[in-house]
Amino acid sequence: MRGMAKQFEHDGLEFARAVTFFDAIFAFSVTLLITTVDDFSPASWSSLQALADSNGPSLLAFAISFVVVVSFWRANHQTVTAFTALDSRLITLNCMVMFGVVLIPFTTEAMGKLTDEPLPTAIYAAVISATYLMEAVVVFVADSSGLNNHKMTPLERKWELIESVPLPLIFLGSIPVAYLFGPGNAQRCWILLAVLMPILGTLHRKSVTRAEPGAAAGDS
């Protein structure tokens, strides 16, 4: 029917092409990251200390972004491949995710080279936050459209919302830190995620586990 959005079923060629396209963008972004480390002058390679002085900030920015892009890819790949189908709305939303992903190398280079300027760190934090939130939008839209392989329960939806808050909160919260206390201190704020996200994941699993016996009793 004309009013219905066209869907590409999970086992179809168009679904596979879309997933391949998304994966290729992540691969391209990761490849571009290493080009942000580009000081190959003889002086910068004369010793390990010289290498650290010339390329150290860029290598640190590269390492941060490598972890970020790979994490985005894992989450996106697991999410999209769990869909029963893709429609035009989900493809468009996922392309918006890809827009953020391809911006990461650009902001990474600025952050690694302009180490005393707060703006590159601020823009990087904004790009990561927007991309992460768009990933969450993809999940919720797919679930509400009935295209997710597993329909989220109210409890799972609640925890999905809770777990989508810390990353943008910390990254966006680091922007004023970059201007007030310097980009380095802002970037150190991001380490909080390495502690907070596993804790939330553990609480999520425990909450679902506690709820399962009650759900089973209600079904019987």
pLDDT greater than 70 at residue 11? yes
Quick one: average pLDDT of 98-113?
94
pLDDT greater than 80 at residue 35? yes
- As a whole number of Å, the CA-based R_g of the chain is 20
Average pLDDT, the chain: 88
pLDDT greater than 80 at residue 54? yes
Quick one: average pLDDT of 190-218?
77
Domain ranges of the chain: 7-219
Q: Which residues contact 116 (CB under 8 A, 6 or more apart)?
A: 182, 183
CA-CA-CA-CA torsion sign (188, 71, 92, 139): negative
| 2 pLDDT tier (thresholds 50, 70, 90) | very low
* CA–CA dist 40, 141 (Å, integer): 46
pLDDT greater than 70 at residue 93? yes
**DSSP states of 78-109:** HHHTTBSEEEHHHHHHHHHHHHHHHHHHHHHH
Q: What is the pLDDT of residue 5?
A: 59
User: Rounded to the nearest 10 degrees, what angle do helices 88-113 and 13-34 cross at?
Assistant: 0
Length of the chain: 220
pLDDT greater than 80 at residue 208? no
Q: Strand 7-9 to strand 85-87: parallel, antiparallel, or no bridges (unpaired)?
A: antiparallel
* CA–CA dist 172, 128 (Å, integer): 9
